[in-house]
Structure 1
Amino acid sequence: MAKKDKPNFVTSNGRLLHLIDTQQFTHELLHAFFKIADKARQLYTSGIGASFLKHCLPNKRALLYFVQPSTRTFLSFESAASILGISTAQVTSTRTSSELKGETPFDSVHTFAMYHDLIIIRYPEPGFAEKCALQFLESDVSKHIINGGSGMDQHPTQALLDVYTLHREFLRRGGLDGKRIMFVGDLARGRAARSLIYLLCKYQDVKVDLVSPDSLKLKGDMKKYMTKHGINFRESDSMLAFSKEADAVYMTRIQDEYDKEFSAGKIDYSAYKLTDAVITSLKPNCIVMHPLPRREEIPVSFDADPRSRYWEQVENGMWARVALIAHILECDLKIKSA
């Protein structure tokens, strides 16, 4: 199928059928998700509200097909499904499935769809979730797929929780429009940074600063995308070049699990850590985010700093995924009117 004919995976009534790419989100849809996420977390604070949510989708089943390591994405999806009353199962290794006998991964996913309404896929191969969704369309399989992370390319639900975190932070500070976001670290191979940048392009006058080693700079396709969407960006190999102006800092770790596909060579990563000098340079109301896991780029001592937001990101991820699942399985309006 030619790229220009790529389906948008949207139902006839305007709902997401599958979530594959970050680009599927519109500004309007993002903010609809934020409202559902806020309403669900507010309902969950009471026993009656939690019971209401638990009875939203008790007849639905979800399969977590996670053959790439994950902690937060896996647990937040599992928790989000539980909140909505969805029963879950999991496959976390091809060694426990018939793929060991020669079955293709696509037939495995098709099999999962016979037992489940929703399949959440985390896979090391870029584009795998999209290929599965296309196969579903061609085979008229009326089940849903969510991309839980694919290779170095896409992580749409990480981007959703990240922009939800930014939305909540800047809600009383004029919103996300016009803010300056600084990305730091492995920007060539980090799918979380790429995916968030896609969503920042949905906002007005957002400014992006990119700080990375020369061999791990953001790829050209993303720079062209930002230019096309009117996003001004700057690049440097020094955090101190931009840190004083940042409204939010998005730290990332080095993605050395992809060294075989994309070797960055030997790098002195000490310049891309949150040092005392960088911390001192940050504005009092600047926030620091990280998709996690972290290594040494953020010291544990910074966790107590009022500007840290990475643990809030973790919790926000669960509620953002509650909103997404509710939308795809059509119980969002029920939550909204509760």
Structure 2
Amino acid sequence: MTAHLDNHTVPSWDLFRKFTIEKRIAFFALDRHPVHILYARQFTRTFLDELYILTNKIRLIAKTNHGKSWLSTLLENRRVMLYFAQPSTRTFLSFATACETMGMRFYDVRSLETSSEMKGETFEDTIRTFSSYFDLVILRHATPNYAEHAAIVLNRSRRPIPLINAGSSKDEHPTQALLDIFTLRKSFEKLGGLSRKTVMLVGDLKRGRTVRSLAVLLAQFAPIHIIFCAPKELAIDDEIIAFLKDHNVTCTQTTDFEANLPKTDAVYMTRTQSEYTDAKSLASSSKAYHTAAYTLTQKHLNHLKPNSIIMHPLPRKNEIAREIDNDPRAMYWRQVRNGMWTRCALIAKIFNIEKKILDH
């Protein structure tokens, strides 16, 4: 049964920000109302299994025009704000098409320059304004902890509505992790499943929010092995390694990309997160990263297993050669498509219409 929060019991942001990550996740448990999607650690294996089934069902229904029309009636009286104060192509369009697929009318603010925050309005007032007009906020922002702060503001208001974190600084990208897990499960569905596989995460692991969120979700499929491959300057945080070891995930940290390719079932490439660095540190990190040592080229394909897959959250720079795009193991364009369906399913769960879809 969903528990409704009394806004008098919601802590202030100054108090909440002092909570441990475990206490924060418990506070935003997915059985509470409103449902806020903020962290990858919110998702249990049961939730992931349910979302996988629901995503596949929505994809199946949408294969016919009749099914598409039916889906578009499910949330036709709901409105969504897409507040993207950080550049985005795929995440924005994925959510926009997901909302449209489910019949929701969406509106967007895609730059702080068009927001009243440029006039000095506090972001708390901006978020509360959204809650006056909309039934869901989908938020991307470069400021750390912005999504959590916005969720607290909403829960302390008289009209608390759900919020989805569509990318928060270097911290989290939980819905990207959901679509990545869906892609991995779909790819290995007839090959024994995702458990006991080896996944190699490559590139800027220190500042890449997609790999942080994905690594956390991979723990739900333990036993599993993760190889973290990056220059020492861009290695994954010790906190993520500790979390994974506590959850029966074996980890290897290496700087040797080519030597580990034959061991992997899935290789997940990432770009340099240059937007989070100053010019001096960018020069050194880019020099370390943009070399053949961390670029997947056609010559590497023979080192990969025949049934392995190649993934990338996109956008890419030069870390995957374009000649690889048509290799049957290249799944990054499939990831793009899967993102729309996964987000359709997530929205359906937030608005509690899962059973209606599964019974269709």
TM surpasses 0.5:
yes
Q: Give the counterpart of 2:341 among 291, 301, 319.
A: 319
Structure 1 match to 2:325:
303
What one-letter code is carried by the residue in structure 1 that aligns with 2:345? A
CA distance in 2, matches of 1:109, 1:136: 7
Is residue 2:300 matched to residue 1:284?
no
Structure 1 match to 2:128:
110
CA distance in 2, matches of 1:329, 1:295: 37
Change (3 A) 1:255 1:80: same
How much has 1:126 moved relative to structure 2?
A: 1.6
Change (3 A) 1:9 1:262: farther
The number of residue pairs the alignment matches comes to 337
Q: Give the counterpart of 1:274 among 288, 296, 309.
A: 296
How much has 1:139 moved relative to structure 2?
A: 2.4
CA distance in 2, matches of 1:164, 1:15: 25
How much has 1:204 moved relative to structure 2?
A: 2.0
CA distance in 1, matches of 2:219, 2:322: 32
What one-letter code is carried by the residue in structure 1 that aligns with 2:27? N
> Is this contact kept in 1: 2:182–2:342, CA < 8 A?
yes
How much has 1:261 moved relative to structure 2?
A: 10
Equivalent runs, 1:101-180 vs 2, <5 Å: 101-180=119-198
Give the secondary structure class of the aligned counterpart of 1:295.
coil
CA distance in 1, matches of 2:113, 2:319: 34
State the Cα RMSD in Å: 1.6
TM-score (norm 2): 0.90
> Is this contact kept in 2: 1:79–1:318, CA < 8 A?
yes
CA distance in 1, matches of 2:280, 2:73: 46
Q: Percent identity?
A: 41
How much has 1:264 moved relative to structure 2?
A: 5.3
CA distance in 2, matches of 1:208, 1:53: 37
> Is this contact kept in 1: 2:127–2:154, CA < 8 A?
no
Structure 2 match to 1:69:
87
Change (3 A) 1:262 1:316: farther
How much has 1:8 moved relative to structure 2?
A: 3.4
Is residue 2:31 matched to residue 1:9?
no
CA distance in 2, matches of 1:59, 1:252: 38
* Higher mean displacement: 260-269 or 295-304: 260-269
How much has 1:303 moved relative to structure 2?
A: 0.6
Equivalent runs, 1:179-198 vs 2, <5 Å: 179-198=197-216
CA distance in 1, matches of 2:249, 2:131: 40
TM-superposition CA deviations, 1:81-104 (whole Å, max 9, x none) = 000000000001121121121101
Which ranges of structure 1 fall in alignment gaps of 5 or more residues?
none
Give the secondary structure class of the aligned counterpart of 2:27.
coil
CA distance in 2, matches of 1:325, 1:287: 28
Structure 1 match to 2:10:
none
What one-letter code is carried by the residue in structure 1 that aligns with 2:232? D
Considering Cα pairs closer than 8 Å and 6+ residues apart, tell me whether 1 or 2 has the greater RCO. Answer: 1
Is residue 2:237 matched to residue 1:215?
no
